Structure 1
């Protein structure tokens, strides 16, 4: 008989330049576990450790990313975004043991509630900005179709 213990998980992104995106000690700070604060066109879906099911959270994250790409959601200003991330991390480390094991821990219900609240706030920001796309279409960047 063989028993395989799968008790560890090392977060790594070998396809990214380490200076761009890396997770030392399994820690990759993200806004609501999706948006990297310095790389606004790379998204992380289901890179979280919930108390509850992952798939409904991944679906909600996917809808949020789609809102963003359609220009129907805008991120908070950088200072607010980073302050929110700092508060969230502080709350996480108060609730869970500060360790490599708990760098992505979230509570299912709290996360969905906070995500819904942020999506609504971002929709207001998007409306005020005229629903500007976060990544301009090729045609808008002066590219000519072949």
Structure 2
């Protein structure tokens, strides 16, 4: 990703799994999405990846993979909503949590391979 691609535009913030800026890794963000049931549930689920990342139990994918995942995730999550600024951070909570748990497991395997 170049610097221009990293910048938020059109009410979009390109974060891997809505948590991490590709190529930076820290800081991590939680709760920057609109989901039902509540933001607390979303942040709790995101904290599982953040905690593992901070303790070294989770390894982020490379920048190119993160960028590709961001594009896929946006298409998947935003495709069911009409195109409007208020829907740029919308997501299907249940689908997001399933994907997040799969990513946590993949990151655990990446971390184990690095050790």
Q: Give TM class, smaller chain.
A: 0.7 to 0.9
* RMSD, matched Cα: 1.7
1:133 corresponding residue in structure 2 = none
In 2, Cα distance between equivalents of 1:112 and 1:125: 20
CA contact (8 A) 1:52 1:107 kept: no
2:110 corresponding residue in structure 1 = 125
In 2, Cα distance between equivalents of 1:65 and 1:32: 11
Q: TM-score, normalised by structure 1?
A: 0.70
Q: TM-score, normalised by structure 2?
A: 0.87
1:82 to 67, 85, 89: 67
2:36 corresponding residue in structure 1 = 51
Residues 67-99 of structure 1, C-alpha deviation per residue, up to 9 Å, x if partnerless?
Answer: 001110011122111111111112233211122
Structure 2: give runs of 5+ residues left out of the alignment: none
Secondary structure at the aligned position of 1:95 is classed as coil
1:109 aligns with 2:94: yes
Structure 1: give runs of 5+ residues left out of the alignment: 1-18, 131-146
Aligned runs of 1:1-146 on 2, under 5 Å? 23-130=8-115
CA contact (8 A) 1:53 1:108 kept: no
State the aligned residue count: 111
Greater per-residue helix proportion: 2
Which structure's relative contact order is higher, taking Cα pairs within 8 Å and 6+ residues apart?
2
Residues 89-143 of structure 1, C-alpha deviation per residue, up to 9 Å, x if partnerless?
Answer: 122332111221111111111011000000001000000011xxxxxxxxxxxxx
Greater per-residue strand proportion: 1
Q: CA deviation at 1:22?
A: 5.5
Secondary structure at the aligned position of 2:83 is classed as coil
